[in-house]
Structure 1
């Protein structure tokens, strides 16, 4: 487990509320996560083996709906949690020093649904983790946790102050930094090759990567999509890129 930084205990008003079966069960299963309280229907809570130290409140579906945004599908479960403590980038890079797992860097992707979906893809393709800039990424939230479908609890998420500096540290760790953009000729398959550690860098949908972020990539590449589609959602692009890295051929021994 990577070393984590200290984060002060959150006030109740600032603690995220996770909802939905996958998000809540994954939070309960994560020893690094502190679950403060759970609300649920008798049917949903009856199916769980909860530690006696966690306060629970029985509620009907309508009452649970008032605890979450809009028409969020809570599936009978809502949990108030503390955010996970920070992970240091250097620790994460050291943790993956002996394998070829890819790393994902997101440049100012602020939509929690997109970040959650990227986390889910990162879990599916066994990525080392994701890296975002602290000030331009969403906080942990119920929407993000639900989109991640449990992956928020198992994929390391590093928040950094300076993304350019982080990309420099990633390069020093031996990663080939590949930025995804549509305005180049090289394809991702050409960029990732057959060996080496890959760091995939993606920008927000529409704006793409910032110029300074592109400048800190070793190579820019595109996904070979049809000209009938201008671009892909960043979470879809991340999933395709992670699949490409996971299935690339290896150099014969």
Structure 2
């Protein structure tokens, strides 16, 4: 019966008094030890090891892949996905290594990538799907990825020296705050087509030579140097001191590019972003501003198209006797 203390096993055991609680013996044992140190100050604590960079992953635990950071265009560039990889291979973009996941399903795209890699002696490495996930920082790779080599930028001084030593009038295209790599690639392609000696981009707040830029340039990036300036405004002023005229494109400028003085001589064509245009300091560094005449129904052209039109006009005037 519930509550019946006479049932078997219901025996009251007698002790020697009340047990010590946290306010008795235990509290006296802690007196004089002071406050508990912070986790970062305890050598045995994981927070201390993490703060000092000596944390080691425990057995059976995989660390979360670190996110790749850095300036645009620095470090390895990855092309992932079967369509993207095949297009990159067909465009003959420089490839450091190709990676395929173990057990990846064979289809026409994968077989064509294998064929192109073999024809060009491109290293083809087979890795586990987990390893490919880690290498590509969790991107959707469909079992296939390309690692591009780090792009080797020219020095702005070397770009200027090469332009001055050329048999033709120096022509350099400078880009201010162009963040779309496809626009960068389009400018490189137009610059190569119309006889420019190179392209100058800023180190910060600018697209770099990514896979998208390589592809859009249609191979021109392998022939035309791209220089990266730590301070674009300072580099432009150095080019100006060397005798090159700085002409900036501005849709609101009163002067038509075709009527702009000095574009057939040593020149730096400065192109800004479609939205913000040229920054204040870059605008102040320019000797003149010029526009491309358009109908009122079109507000602006993107940087790639505007640079192509301007470079054609410059090339036309230089060919005119």
Query: Shorter-chain TM-score category?
Result: 0.7 to 0.9
Flag structure 2 segments of 5+ consecutive residues without an equivalent.
Answer: 1-65, 69-74, 80-84, 101-109
Q: Please say if 1:155 is aligned against 2:215.
A: no
- Classify 1:249/1:116 alpha carbon distance in 2 versus 1 (closer, same or farther; 3 Å): closer
Q: CA deviation at 1:101?
A: 4.7
Q: Please say if 1:170 is aligned against 2:239.
A: yes
Map 1:106-185; keep pairs closer than 5 Å.
Answer: 106-185=175-254
Q: CA deviation at 1:145?
A: 2.0
1:17 corresponding residue in structure 2: 78
Q: Which has the higher contact order (CA 8 A, sep 6+)?
A: 1
1:49 corresponding residue in structure 2: 119
Counting strand residues as a fraction of each chain, which structure ranks higher?
1
Query: How big is each residue's C-alpha offset from its partner over 1:128-167, in whole Å with a ceiling of 9 and x where there is no partner?
Result: 1111110111233222222222222222111111111111
Q: CA deviation at 1:102?
A: 2.0
Flag structure 1 segments of 5+ consecutive residues without an equivalent.
Answer: 1-10, 29-34
Q: 1:209 aligns with which of 268, 275, 278?
A: 278
8 A Cα contact 1:195 1:251, kept in partner = no
Q: Please say if 1:81 is aligned against 2:148.
A: yes
Q: The residue matched to 1:199 in structure 2 has which SS?
A: strand
**Structure (1 or 2) with the larger CA radius of gyration:** 2
Q: The residue matched to 2:269 in structure 1 has which SS?
A: strand
Query: How big is each residue's C-alpha offset from its partner over 1:100-136, in whole Å with a ceiling of 9 and x where there is no partner?
Result: 2521111111111211211121222232111111011
> Which TM-score applies when normalising by structure 1?
0.77
